[in-house]
Amino acid sequence: MIPTVPRHVLLDVVRRALAEDLGGRGDLSGQATLPDDLEGRFVVRARAEGRLAGARAARLTFSEVDRTLRLDDWLDDGAALEAGTVIGRVMGPVRSIVAAERVALNLLGRLSGIASLTARFVAAVDGTGTAITHTRKTTPGLRALELAAVAAGGGAMHRFGLDDAILIKDNHVAACGGVGAAVRRARAFAGHMTRVAVEVDRLDQLDEALAAGAGSVLLDNFSNEDLRAAVARVGDRGVTLEASGNVSLDTVRAIAGTGIDVISIGALTHSAPNLDVGLDDA
């Protein structure tokens, strides 16, 4: 399910982006060349194959510039796109449409790029039972939109931020004096209602984590052989195993084939190329 980004979050992003682009004087090029009573009809069109995300943000951009604009026939996030697919239609004052164009397309291209890359990873592990998920390596201020784009591409949700889950990483482990000590301390803090996850980079640390009662273990940069060994050690304990570190489209299916539960991929958000989208005269 694609999470619904609250309207006030979208509005904050859109208003900041428009303020950055329009500045204090607005679109001087449009003011200089376009009569204020000129009306037009345009389509937002995909120029490459991919997966749609950011449609609400794009629509809100147009309506924030001019509430008289008509926005018809917009596809929903998660829709499959081919080169030439019409994503939506915009009608009304041309000066307003071109003033909103770049911000709307930037949001669509960025978020659809994330959804499209996620969909490729999800397709690569199809049938294995392994979930593809994101990390916190997101663009500051855009996390809610980018993680919704991951979901639009078929990805699973990880923690949103530091305040919604306990994940003990290497610096926590070092400060506590070891994996077991860190997990025990976290379990004492969290009580029985909160699941505790810990990142490890060796099989002996996995054994420590299991003995201390970790509910989830993130296996960082493990070889496929060690991932299979980890899966065997966990057995039917009900502990979730997550693999991470330098995952690519070339390697992801083999990683999933080890029996791992989840593969987290920072590249979904920090390295996704924009999907090419454009605004064309209809």
What would the pLDDT profile of 244-274 be if each residue is shown by its tens digit? 998 999 999 999 999 999 999 999 999 999 9
pLDDT class of 282 with cuts at 50, 70, 90: confident
DSSP state of 48: S
DSSP state of 252: H
Tokens of 224: 């496929």
Residue 199 bears catalytic tag? yes
Tokens of 244: 């991470």
pLDDT class of 145 with cuts at 50, 70, 90: very high
Q: Is the pLDDT of residue 191 over 90?
A: no
pLDDT class of 195 with cuts at 50, 70, 90: confident
Cα separation of 147 and 144, whole Å? 5
User: What is the average per-residue pLDDT within 38-64?
Assistant: 98
Specify the pTM. Answer: 0.96
Residue 207 bears catalytic tag? no
Percent of the chain with pLDDT over 90: 95
CA-based nearest residue to 202, from 176, 238, 170: 170
Residue 16 bears catalytic tag? no
Cα separation of 117 and 119, whole Å? 5
Cα separation of 109 and 53, whole Å? 8
One-letter amino acid at 175 equals A
Q: Confirm if 120 and 85 have CB atoms less than 8 A apart.
A: no
Cα separation of 189 and 60, whole Å? 42
What are the tens digits of pLDDT across the range 77-117?
Answer: 999 999 999 999 999 999 999 999 999 999 999 999 999 99
Task: List strands edge to edge, sheet with 262-264.
Answer: 131-133, 262-264, 240-244, 216-220, 196-200, 166-168
Q: What average pLDDT does the chain have?
A: 96
Residue 49 bears catalytic tag? no
The full set of domains in the chain, from first to last, is: 7-116+273-281 (3.90.1170.20), 123-270 (3.20.20.70)
What 3-state class would DSSP assign to 146? helix
Which of 169, 195, 228, 253 is labelled catalytic? Answer: 169
Which of 15, 41, 47, 137 is labelled catalytic? Answer: 137
User: What is the average per-residue pLDDT within 198-227?
Assistant: 96
Q: Confirm if 116 and 56 have CB atoms less than 8 A apart.
A: no
Strands of 94-244 (E only): list them: 131-133, 166-168, 196-200, 216-220, 240-244
Q: Confirm if 181 and 157 have CB atoms less than 8 A apart.
A: no
Residue 237 bears catalytic tag? no
Q: Give every CB contact of residue 276 below 8 A, 6+ residues apart in sequence.
A: 46, 47, 48, 109
Which of 27, 77, 220, 261 is labelled catalytic? Answer: 220
Classify strands 216-220 and 166-168 as parallel, antiparallel or unpaired: unpaired
What are the tens digits of pLDDT across the range 48-60?
Answer: 999 999 999 999 9
Q: What is the pLDDT of residue 122?
A: 98
Helix segments in 130-223, DSSP class H: 143-152, 170-176, 179-190, 203-212
Helix-strand-coil split of the chain, %, nearest 5? 45, 20, 40
Q: Is the pLDDT of residue 192 over 90?
A: no
